[in-house]
Every structure is written in C-alpha cells, then in structure tokens.
Structure 1
Amino acid sequence: MACLPLFKRRNTTPVWCGNVVIGGDAPVSVQTMTKCDTRDIESVVREIRLAVSLGAELVRVAVPDREAAMAIEDIKEQVPCPIIADIHFDYKLALLALEAGADKVRINPGNIGGKGRLLEVARKAEEKGAAIRLGINSGSLEKDLLEAYGGPTHEAMVESARRHLAYLEDAGVDKIVISLKSSSVRHTVEAYMLMAEFTRWPFHIGITEAGPGTRGMVKSAAGIGTLLALGLGDTVRVSLTGPSHEEVEVAKQVLQSMGVRAFGPDVISCPTCGRTQVDIVATATQVADALKGMTVPIKVAVMGCPVNGPGEAREADIGVACGRDGGILFSRGKVLGRVTSEELVPALVRLAREYAETAEGKN
C-alpha cells in the first residue's frame, strides 16, 4: 500500500471567522471553549481574556438558552477574539446568537431539527456575515445512519457531514467549517481522511470527550498529531475535562511538537536514569517557567549527565549537561563553559535569552 505524503497540508478554502482566517494559507489556529456559565458575563470575559493571553485565537461559548445567546453581545464588546456560539437542539438559539454578534455558530446536524431549520440558520449567518461549523459528533448521529451503518462508524459520520453540507452548498452558503469528532482516535482520523476526499472546506479538528488530565492530553495529542501529520487540520481545539487555559497550552504544544507552528522556546530534557545526580525535573521546570512569554522558537536542553549533553543534544541552541556540582553549558554541541549548581538555571536562562535576542535580530 502506498504511503501518504506527510506534513503536506491539504488545500482548503479560506473562511473568515471574525478577524481570523480558518483554512487556506492561514496558520492552524488555536481554539478553546469556556467552562463557566455563559450567562455569567463577568466570569466568561475573565476566562476568555486569560485564554487569549495564553494564545487562544478563537473561543466558543455554550448557548443553552435565550439569556446565554443574548449575553454574546456584551461578551464580544469586552474581548479581543472572535466568539463562536455552540448550539444544540434549538435552532432559534442560533438565530439569537447571530443577532447578538456571534462570529460563527457550531451546529450539530444530529439534533438541530432537520434541513429546514439548518437552512434558516444558514440564511441568518449569511445575513450577518458569520460562518457555520457543521459539527458532526459520533454520539448524536441521525437514526437512519446508525441503522444503515450498524452504529456510529466513521462512514456514518462522513455521510451525515456530506448530507448537511449538500444542503448548505445548494443554498449558496460560502463560509463553512467541518468537524467530525469521536472519542475514538481511530474513528476520528478515519472520518477526516474520508471526508477530505469530498470537500475543500476547512477542518476543525480534535478528539471529543478526551477525558481528564494526562489521559485527555495523550488522547488529544495522538489524534490531533496524526491528523496534522496527514495535513488535515485548519483549526484545533483540545477537549479536556479541565480549565480552558490548559486546552490552549496543550494545543500549542501539539502544534509546535508537530512542527506546524512555533510559539516559543522548546525546552527538552532527558528522561533521567541511574547516572543522574541532580533533580532534572525541578531544573527543567524552573527553566521552562523562566522562559514563559518568550516568543522566539529556540531549543533549550536540560540534560542529566554528559552522555545526553552536549552529545545527544547537539541540535539544541542552548543547553546544559548537569552533574553533581554544577553543569556544562553548550550551544549547538560546542562547550561554552562550566557553572556551579547555584548558577546553573540563571546562567542557562540568561544565555537562552541572549541567543533568542540574537536570532530575532537576524530575522
């Protein structure tokens, strides 16, 4: 079987969502979704501002009722990013959210109420210049598709997407984003791969109901990373059972790890072993914390012994090989000098900042 070309991004139609472009040549954008009650405007605004300060470029809010839909107008006046309304069951809430200024509405075709209601939302979105995301979810597919495919398979998900996409395209809708999410990494990846054969609309990617903590992060990284490697993905949301700012941090790390975007320093460290004589976990954490906020994408290595650095970490821009009484500083495999244990972190951070300033100046 022929191998698919990796990291060649799929050619998609650009779609504006507020002041952010999804698809085309635009960078793969970072999304999150607020966790607090949308009707609590003060809390929502505070949460969105924190997420944006950490790198969120679009934010989705739940719209469970009329009051939440109307709150979007006040929320938008106080935040710097596009706001997406998340709609389930009641299409009238989508109409209200669009009237309130939502830049995009996420519609779940499995529970919105049929073609007529979908098209009514589409007409309102077109009137307001907003985008629509067809958000297919394996847990809420139409009954006829579940029966036809014997369950929520990736083929059933794609059939649902194609059915509703045809409704929108026939009506002349020209700002569409598609997502096909499952809690199964395999089903999600297969669904996007299949759907890519039928459309050039941009993809919103993620793994739904990924779970809490490490479990959710690993599952999301596996699914999103695979899709990015296949060139499938124009905007990303990491779904975690946790705060929205964690979703943003993980999304950025996945994008940077896959080489899709660069947000700042990449702090690498060895896994430690019996040769390690210092607390590498604490040292690497201190270095990473000290470099937060830096936007130049340099590689900084914190290694536990001379075996891993500067030899194995020779590609690092700046690094340290730690020992019992201090460490050896190096840059691109070249030894720069020795430092004491007390000087180790401050010296490495200082050199990293100097290297970043020089690199930024050259650009």
Structure 2
Amino acid sequence: MSLRPFRNIDRKKTRVINIGDVKIGGDNPISVQSMTNTLTTDVRATINQINAIHEEGADIVRVSCPDEQSTKALKEITQNVKLPVIADIHFHYKRAIEAAENGAKCLRINPGNIGEKQKIHDVLTAAKNNDCSIRIGVNAGSLEKDILEKYKEPCPEALVESALRNIKILEDQNFFNFKVSVKSSDIFLSIAAYRQLSKAMDYPLHLGITEAGSFVSGSVKSSIGLGALLLDGIGDTIRISLSDDPVKEIKVGNEILKSLGLRNRGVKIISCPSCARQAFQVIDTVKILEEKLSHIKTPVSLSIIGCVVNGPGEAAMTDVGITGGGKGNNMLYLSGVQSKKVLTNEIIDKVVAEVEKKALELEKNNDT
C-alpha cells in the first residue's frame, strides 16, 4: 500500500543513451548521480567514496581528471567499483582520450573547448571505440567569450545557444551518443534555460543547480529548481550540487524523486513536525528510524504521527504506521489497518521489525 502521487508526470520522451549499463532517456528511470571530491590519483580513497555513494543509491558517479595521472588512475578505479564512471574533462583533448581508454563510460566535456577539428575527431573516435558517451556541460559561469559579449551577461538564450553550438559540433561528426546540461547557480536562469533547450532538441537532459551551496540552502535551491523542471516532465538524470559529503547529494536527489513519485527506493517516511499533542518524541523517533532502516532498498511507506488527529488518516495510506495514543499506548497499523497497541518504549524495535518484514514480503512478490 505505497503512497501514490496525486498526478502522474508526463515525461518528455528523449533519445536513449547508455552510460555503462545505465540507460538514460526515454522511459528509463531518472538516474541520480554525484561527484567524488577525493583526489582521483588517491585510488583507494576514490574507490571507497564511490562505493559509499553507490550504497546510498547512486546510479552514476563523476570524477575529476585534470591531469594524466588522474586519467591513468581510472583504470584501477573503474575495475573496482560497480557504478559507471564519468570523467570530468575541461580543455585538454588527450585527457578525454585517456579517460575513454581507461574505463570511463562518459566524458563531461564541451567540444567547443577542445579546439581544432582533428582533436575533436580523435576524442569522438576514442569515445566510439570504447562505448563511451558524452555530456555537453554548459555552465553560466564559463560561457564562450563571443556568446557572453553578444548577450552581455549569462541568460537563458546564451546558455541554450552555447548548448546548440556544441550539439552541432558532435552531430557534424556523426556522434549522437550524448546528453546535455545548462546549469547555473541561479534557479530562475536554470529553469528557463532547461525549458528552452528541451523545446529545441530531444537529447536527454542532465539537471542540476550548480554551486547550490551548503547542505540546507543547496538542498532547498535544488529541490525548487529541479522540482519545477521534473514536474514539467523535463529531465533524465540529476545531480544535487552541495558543499558537503557527496553521499548527501544522493540522499537528497533520491528524496526529490521519491516525493514526486518518480522513483521508489527504500523507506519513505511520512512524519509530523510534532507539537504539544504528541504522545511520544516524534523527532527523535524519526531520526533513529531513518538510521536503523537505511539498509532497506525495497520501497516501503511508513507513517510516524504523534497523535490521533492526523495519525489514522496517514496510517491508512502507508504500509506501516504508528499513531500516538494516551498513556503510552500507541496504535500500530499494518497495510492501513489497525493491528495492535505498542508501548512507547517498544516503538523503535516494533517498527523496524514490521518494516523489515514488509520489505521481505514485497521482495518476494516482486520475484514471483
């Protein structure tokens, strides 16, 4: 009895590309990705961080490749992680070739920055030979000089013109295995640019509000910006750019998709903010449950409501629910139906047991 969205989002149908074994675009699930902040040359630290990102629910990961030592390190890194790796390249075409040859499944690069046509051809040849896609990454902070002079400042039209210019470079080389992003740290600029670009082409879009900030402010900005686009049906893969642990980027990204009914992974907790009516400490209970249930990947809905005003109604729509009651007698709901009373000091253990039981049940049903 998982919660269903009030409305179904009609996603724009884009072309489908592959990043390793992850399909981007079309009817495929919207993927979530992050970027490592370790030195890529520190192979063990980078592998450990990628594995932590993967455990949190990432589909793809990006790593910086500013020098030859970093691109060479990709060979060992890609052999020891489960996520397909995107190599972040900016100007030097040889770094892109090396990355493709050392296991990267996508290159984040703007073809216009590479330079002469032969260098672009060499990069695309390496990409084709190694089943490597490309992300054209346009950023308001690094627009081409002539485009910036034309528009005087970053604006939606400037970002879209830059994207279309880079798209044409690839199309002229008969290369179509790519996705596009038009990022800005400004929410309104980003939304407008993505909406314009979505109308102008049908390649898959990577969404993000770049340099969004700290955990709280960056999460809010990203939720507003990406949420508006996702509700429009725009977007095939996302990254939440936070000045924080990359694992948290995945957590926020998955929560955004879950809140819109675009992705179901793990336990979705519906909880009240707590007030004087609460029969148990809701805030502490939710924090503990989030930690104890983090290992569950199967979609399960859970409501934690401190009183009987809204509790029964919320519990009726979730797989497992707890509603606060008088004198420490709280009501447990299973599949929306009252089950038994639970003492306050038993809530954590009882809820964990019932959610784990429900997850196993749902897994078995999916297997059959």
The answer to whether TM tops 0.5 is yes
Q: Distance in 1 between matches of 2:191 and 2:131?
A: 31
Kindly provide the amino acid, as one letter, of the partner of residue 267 in structure 2. Answer: P
Task: Pick one of 132, 135, 140 that aligns with 1:133.
Answer: 135
| 1:223-262 Cα deviation digits (max 9, x unpaired) | 2222211111111111111111111111111111111111
Q: CA deviation at 1:295?
A: 2.6
Partner of 1:344: 347
TM-score if structure 2 supplies the norm length?
0.92
Q: CA deviation at 1:189?
A: 1.3
Q: Distance in 1 between matches of 2:293 and 2:117?
A: 51
Partner of 1:9: 11
Cα 1:319–1:41 change in 2 (3 A) is same
Task: Pick one of 323, 327, 330 that aligns with 1:327.
Answer: 330
Q: CA deviation at 1:362?
A: 3.8
Confirm or deny that 1:299 pairs with 2:311.
no
Report if aligned partners of 2:240, 2:253 keep a CA contact under 8 Å in 1: yes
Partner of 2:145: 143
Partner of 1:358: 361
Where in structure 1 are there 5+ consecutive unaligned residues? none
How many residue pairs get aligned? The number is 359
Cα 1:326–1:6 change in 2 (3 A) is closer
Q: Distance in 2 between matches of 1:41 and 1:32?
A: 17
Report if aligned partners of 2:33, 2:58 keep a CA contact under 8 Å in 1: yes
Kindly provide the amino acid, as one letter, of the partner of residue 343 in structure 2. Answer: T
Kindly provide the amino acid, as one letter, of the partner of residue 338 in structure 1. Answer: K
RMSD: 1.9
Cα 1:313–1:149 change in 2 (3 A) is farther
Bigger Cα displacement from structure 2, 60-69 vs 94-103:
94-103
Partner of 2:197: 195
Partner of 2:3: none
Task: Pick one of 52, 72, 75 that aligns with 1:73.
Answer: 75
Bigger Cα displacement from structure 2, 28-37 vs 274-283:
274-283
Partner of 2:233: 231
Q: Distance in 1 between matches of 2:287 and 2:138?
A: 39
Q: Distance in 2 between matches of 1:111 and 1:88?
A: 7
Kindly provide the amino acid, as one letter, of the partner of residue 256 in structure 2. Answer: V
Kindly provide the amino acid, as one letter, of the partner of residue 304 in structure 2. Answer: V
Confirm or deny that 1:217 pairs with 2:231.
no
Report if aligned partners of 1:111, 1:140 keep a CA contact under 8 Å in 2: no
Kindly provide the amino acid, as one letter, of the partner of residue 349 in structure 1. Answer: V
- SS of 2:41's equivalent in the other structure is coil
Q: Distance in 2 between matches of 1:184 and 1:76?
A: 34
Report if aligned partners of 2:315, 2:323 keep a CA contact under 8 Å in 1: no
Q: Distance in 2 between matches of 1:303 and 1:262?
A: 22
Partner of 1:255: 257
Kindly provide the amino acid, as one letter, of the partner of residue 176 in structure 2. Answer: D
Q: Distance in 2 between matches of 1:192 and 1:235?
A: 13
Report if aligned partners of 2:14, 2:202 keep a CA contact under 8 Å in 1: yes
Bigger Cα displacement from structure 2, 320-329 vs 77-86:
320-329
Q: Distance in 1 between matches of 2:355 and 2:19?
A: 36
**1:106-125 alignment runs, 5 A limit:** 106-108=108-110, 111-113=113-115, 117-125=119-127
Report if aligned partners of 1:6, 1:231 keep a CA contact under 8 Å in 2: no
Report if aligned partners of 2:110, 2:166 keep a CA contact under 8 Å in 1: no
Cα 1:326–1:287 change in 2 (3 A) is farther
* Identity, % of aligned positions: 39
TM-score if structure 1 supplies the norm length?
0.93
- SS of 1:329's equivalent in the other structure is strand
| 1:126-150 Cα deviation digits (max 9, x unpaired) | 2322111100001000121112222
Q: Distance in 2 between matches of 1:100 and 1:356?
A: 39
Bigger Cα displacement from structure 2, 274-283 vs 55-64:
274-283
Partner of 1:25: 27
Partner of 2:84: 82
Cα 1:197–1:42 change in 2 (3 A) is same
Q: CA deviation at 1:187?
A: 1.1
Where in structure 2 are there 5+ consecutive unaligned residues? 1-6
Kindly provide the amino acid, as one letter, of the partner of residue 306 in structure 2. Answer: G
Cα 1:348–1:127 change in 2 (3 A) is closer
Cα 1:75–1:199 change in 2 (3 A) is same
- SS of 1:194's equivalent in the other structure is helix
Kindly provide the amino acid, as one letter, of the partner of residue 253 in structure 1. Answer: E
Report if aligned partners of 1:119, 1:168 keep a CA contact under 8 Å in 2: no
Cα 1:314–1:44 change in 2 (3 A) is same
- SS of 2:147's equivalent in the other structure is helix
Report if aligned partners of 1:104, 1:133 keep a CA contact under 8 Å in 2: yes
Q: Distance in 1 between matches of 2:116 and 2:252?
A: 35
Cα 1:6–1:326 change in 2 (3 A) is closer
| 1:149-197 Cα deviation digits (max 9, x unpaired) | 2211011000000011011111100211111111111111111111111
Kindly provide the amino acid, as one letter, of the partner of residue 355 in structure 2. Answer: A
Q: Distance in 2 between matches of 1:301 and 1:228?
A: 25
Bigger Cα displacement from structure 2, 129-138 vs 20-29:
20-29
